[in-house]
Amino acid sequence: MHGMRQSELFTKTRKQAPKDEVSKNAQLLIRAGFIHKEMAGAYSLLPLGLRVFNNIVGVIREEINAIGGQEIVLTALQNPAHWKKSGRWSDDAIDVWFKTALKGGGELGLATTHEEPLTALMSEYVSSYKDLPKYVYQFQTKFRNELRAKSGIMRVREFVMKDLYSFSRNEKEFRTFYEQCAKAYEKIFRRVGIGDITYRTFASGGSFSKFSDEYQMLCDAGEDVIYVNKARKLAVNKEVYTDDVLAELGIAKADLTEEKAIEVGNIFPLGTRFSDELGLKYKDEGGKAISVVMGSYGIGPGRLMGAVAEALSDEKGLVWPKEIAPFKIHLLSIIGSDETIRGEADKLYELLKENDIDVLYDDRDVRAGEKFADADLIGIPTRLVISEKTVSAGGAEMSGRKNGPASLVSDSAVIQKIKGE
């Protein structure tokens, strides 16, 4: 679908966000009609929001496919048997489980992550060193029974996660892929518009390894505290900020600044922890059974959408980068007293659609001021305005959501100008 008439959109913009919504990202996304709050920690995606979400998914998919990822979808319902083998079925190990009773007796879980089931699945396909390495990922709904859902769509109880898992023969092969994935993540964050404010951050590896890497986006509303070395484009999470760690990383305290940040992705060495416990082994050239070395790599597309909304918006509303905006063009018709303007705007709308340009057409019967305010709130990067003034000058007025004065573009040049953007 390349075009949508705003008069047909079932959602409407709102002057106010719900009283209980304190985070800027959710306030703006709710007011602009991108998401709907069902309850604390659970949001529905509405037409505009789903388009942004799908664009983010598309960017992530392209970059993960480019490094050899194979896409699947695993079930949200979890068999406790796999998790008991790893010791993570217990609420002491994972304190955010949602568990549910089966009618015929027994219990299932709703997945918080997918290391166990995928490791068990891969053991059916991996037996020889010739079967490795493999990289498998999914976009899948996760459930986390968080005590407090907060930060709008950035800490929720139900969310889609892109989780990628790597299966390698040894540590060296794993590390090579780990760095490829780090580069892919950097490309993703650049493409969604937050590359310059997002830092690869040393963090705790938990029970798996000494360090993991987080990608942290600088933001005043962030829940994390990180120490940033801007020159080296690196940071250290407060949880591992010790003299020993700084010495090991060769980072001087004097070169670091304390910042608040939002985690937008993470990459984690898992070693052989899950392959040992779930029996994922391969036979090497000499026929010896060896545990597969694993890694996991996560990005939440919804969280990323919230992070972009939080970081790039202004006092008037959302500001979407071109690559993930719900539409490329927002066409506004300002009819005034001249009804022929409607026909001109309709004509331009059809022309944009014919040329495969994604366009939201504000054809509503409302005042110009309301159209401009809504366009600012919705945040589509390029705006085309058709009015008596522009039609008499032989074209449409084109402007960016944020940058500078509008310019008149003639009817004949409009498509070329947009495609050249």
pLDDT tens sequence across 270-280: 999 999 999 99
- Locate the domains of the chain by residue range: 7-312, 327-420
Query: Would you say the pTM of this structure is higher than 0.85?
Result: yes
- Say if residue 255's pLDDT is above 80: yes
Mean pLDDT for the chain overall: 94
**Rg of the Cα trace of the chain?**
25
- Say if residue 403's pLDDT is above 80: no
Q: Is there a contact between 409 and 363 (Cβ–Cβ < 8 Å)?
A: no
CATH 3.40.50.800 applies to domain 327-420: yes
All residues at 6 or more sequence positions from 344 whose CB lies less than 8 Å from its CB, including other chains: 333, 386, 391
- Say if residue 17's pLDDT is above 90: no
Antiparallel, parallel or unpaired: β 198-204 and 234-237: parallel
Tokens of 114: 């997918």
pLDDT tens sequence across 297-341: 999 999 999 999 999 999 999 999 999 999 999 999 999 878 899
Q: How many Cα neighbours within 13 Å face the side chain of 268?
A: 20
Residue 163: predicted pLDDT:
98
Residue 9: predicted pLDDT:
97
Average pLDDT over residues 118-142: 98
Asked whether this chain's domains 7-312 and 327-420 adopt the same fold, the reply is no
Phi/psi for 340 (5° steps) reads -65, -20
Residue 206: predicted pLDDT:
77
Residue 336: predicted pLDDT:
81
Residue 54: predicted pLDDT:
98
Give me the torsion for CA of 263, 296, 88, 304, rounded to 10°.
30
Give the distance between the most distant pair of CA atoms in the chain: 85
Fold of 7-312: BirA Bifunctional Protein; domain 2 (3.30.930)
Residue 207: predicted pLDDT:
72
- Say if residue 1's pLDDT is above 90: no
Residue 339: predicted pLDDT:
86
Higher pLDDT, 153 or 82: 82
pLDDT tens sequence across 347-383: 999 999 999 999 999 999 999 999 999 999 999 999 9
- Say if residue 421's pLDDT is above 70: no
pLDDT tens sequence across 191-239: 999 999 999 999 998 777 789 999 999 999 888 999 999 999 999 999 9
Q: Counting Cβ atoms within 10 Å, is residue 327 exposed (0-12), middle (13-18) or buried (19+)?
A: buried
pLDDT tens sequence across 154-179: 779 999 999 999 999 999 999 999 99
Q: Is there a contact between 98 and 109 (Cβ–Cβ < 8 Å)?
A: yes
